[in-house]
Chain A
């Protein structure tokens, strides 16, 4: 690992990282709030998630600008360049996760007048919390430069996939039992899929952290757990 030549570069990077962390904190909050809003049918909280998404988008633009400015001004190479590239990729993933949370909040507005589907709100909330915990650990791994923690998060996505599989089957059953459940179940399924995608994006971020710390992407394949592509309705 080479010593940093420019301390000005270090200062820039620390400020950009702070922007990423501010964004990360907002996204973490959005995941939890979106799930809570659904469970409590709380439209005010759902509205807060939609408002937070605007702040998240603004931060991403700001991060892109700052990163471009730093690249132009300091012409970073090797590890420094890697750090800037990581910033850009992590910010992009965070922005996507924020969008998914916003989409959950929107659907909550639609679901508000429908009867709750047996226990699925709670299951979704548990899944969302699991993803938020993964994101928390990735962000911690990022500020601390802890590749090992990032690797551990990468392995945990499997659990989220399993939760998604279980929910998928449940929704299928509810829809077959009573066609009146279909509208609610379709929305809930999209929400579950949103959370599952958040987990995938968080895993990508974990890989970025590993890349930044070690200089190479992890080679070992992680377990793939979304099996819903092969699920059929029972005869």
Chain B
């Protein structure tokens, strides 16, 4: 059999592969592995590259008894986890470690787990109200047209709340499903903002405030999903109108690309700024939780589903971006999103089906 060069083979494989030599140092590492570990560990002790206990145990065991082992290997980037299955193959004095991305399989199980518990309570509240009123309409209020009209009005509001909740749940689950496949189409952010503000102008007018857009001259383009980014802007601006409307208005701004330390790369920053009453600090970290509300009563009155920012967070995760809140009580709130201008890691991307 003619010999095919090993390094060419390793280079063309999309799964991360590492070879551990007799001295426990990494003797070979393919480009996919370098992309995943964000560093070339060739010549260094394998533990320094792979430290997770399950995998280290598998390597120890495999070297001890000379048979193949498997282990789970978790890669955390920001808030998204990738689950790999590591295949550990010992051969003589060397050990081969192959990592296979199993995130897709793993997801299906974990994403659905909390769904029922989270949602049933929220669905039941409007449903209980509806059933209660139906009972009243059939019984005590059977011959009372005035009460009937009032109750039907309330029922319409509750039914509408139910519909919005279902809409938001669906869009949340759609975003979650696609969270691992990073969008790559170029999106013009100014266009996204223009469309969102046009849609929300009437709501702003009702709330006695106005929207102003600040954007640089040159076009601001990022890899992304235009419809989802528009949803992000829509939710953020809608929140600002609902909870931070003042005569000073609401400013939506695009900032030119700059290096962001938190994401370790060049990003475009979008901000939505209001001069409203602000959000107390202790709420800030929990804002993106599903069904978390700063002021339960007020939010329900405004027709919020408690899912808007959760959707925003998941869309930002999908874009490998970041969502930041900055608020001073009595002075207003600034919500920023950071969007990377380039996709730095294509290898990891292409390994996803």
Q: Which A residues contact B (CB, under 8 angstroms)?
A: 14-15, 17-19, 21-22, 24-26, 28-29, 52, 123, 133, 136, 139-140, 143-144, 148-149, 151-152, 159, 162-163, 165-166, 169
* 28 A-B interface contacts by CB (under 8 A): A14-B44, A15-B45, A17-B45, A18-B45, A18-B47, A18-B48, A21-B45, A21-B48, A22-B53, A24-B51, A25-B51, A28-B51, A28-B52, A29-B52, A52-B53, A136-B76, A143-B48, A143-B49, A144-B38, A151-B261, A152-B262, A152-B264, A159-B285, A162-B281, A162-B282, A162-B284, A163-B285, A169-B282
The interface size of chain B toward A, counting residues with CB under 8 Å, comes to 23
Q: Please, which residues of chain B bring their CB within 8 A of the CB of A148?
A: 261, 264
Main secondary structure of the interface of A (DSSP, over half): helix
Q: Which of B39, B52, B76 contacts A133 (CB 8 A)?
A: B76
Most A CB within 10 A of own CB, among B48, B56, B264 = B48
Q: Are B49 and A25 in touch, CB under 8 angstroms?
A: no
Q: Nearest Cβ distance between residue B139 and chain A, in whole angstroms?
A: 35
* A-B CB proximity, top 3 nearest: A25-B51, A18-B45, A18-B47
State which of B44, B264, B282, B284 has its C-beta within 8 Å of the C-beta of A149: B264
Please report the C-alpha to C-alpha distance between residue A17 and residue B38 in the assembled complex, in whole angstroms: 18
* B142 within 8 Å of A (CB atoms): no
Closest Cβ neighbor of B46 among chain A residues:
A18
- Give chain A residues whose Cβ lies under 8 Å from the Cβ of B261: 148, 151-152
8 Å CB contact of A139 from B39, B51, B282, B285: B51
**Shortest distance from the beta carbon of A132 to any chain B beta carbon, whole Å:** 8
List the A side residues contacting B51 at CB < 8 Å.
21-22, 24-25, 28, 139
Measured in the bound complex, the distance between the Cα atoms of B76 and A179 in whole Å is 40
- Smallest CB-CB separation from A30: which chain B residue? B53
| CB pair A140 B76 closer than 8 Å | no
> With an 8 A cutoff between CB atoms, is B93 at the interface?
no
Residues of B within 8 A of A22 (CB): 47, 51, 53, 56
Residues of B within 8 A of A17 (CB): 45, 48
Chain A CB count within 10 A is highest, among B24, B53, B56, B261, for: B53
Instruction: Tell whether B286 is near chain A: CB-to-CB under 8 Å.
Output: yes
Q: How many whole Å from B320's CB to the nearest CB in chain A?
A: 15
Complex contacts, A159 vs chain B, CB 8 Å: 285
Check B285–A143 contact: CB distance below 8 A: no
Other-chain contact of A144, B39, B46, B285 (Cβ < 8 Å): B39
Interchain nearest-CB distance for A138 vs B (Å): 12
Residues of chain A contacted by B262 (CB below 8 angstroms): 152
Complex-state Cα separation, A133 to B81, whole angstroms: 11
11 additional contacts (CB under 8 A) given A22-B51, A144-B39: A14-B48, A17-B48, A18-B24, A18-B46, A21-B45, A25-B52, A123-B286, A133-B76, A143-B48, A148-B264, A166-B286
- Find chain B residues with CB under 8 A from A19 CB: 47
CA distance A56 to B264 in the complex (A): 32
Are A166's CB and B282's CB within 8 A?
yes
Q: Which residues of B contact A26 (CB under 8 A)?
A: 53
Q: Tell me the chain B residues, 122-153 only, with Cβ under 8 Å from chain A.
A: none
Query: Inside 8 A of B48's CB, which chain A residues have their CB?
Result: 14, 17-18, 21, 143
- The answer for the CA separation of A169 and B281 in the assembled complex, in Å, is 12
For the complex, what is the distance from the CA of A19 to the CA of B24, rounded to whole Å?
A: 13
Bound together, the chains give a CA A163 to CA B262 distance in angstroms of 19
Query: Min CB distance, B108 to chain A, in Å?
Result: 20
B residues 28-70 near A (Cβ < 8 Å) are 38-39, 44-49, 51-53, 56
Contacts of A143 in B (CB 8 A): 39, 44, 48-49
B76-A166 in contact (CB<8A)? no
Tell me the smallest distance from the CB of A174 to a CB of chain B, in Å.
Answer: 15
Closest residue on chain B to residue A159 by CB atoms: B285
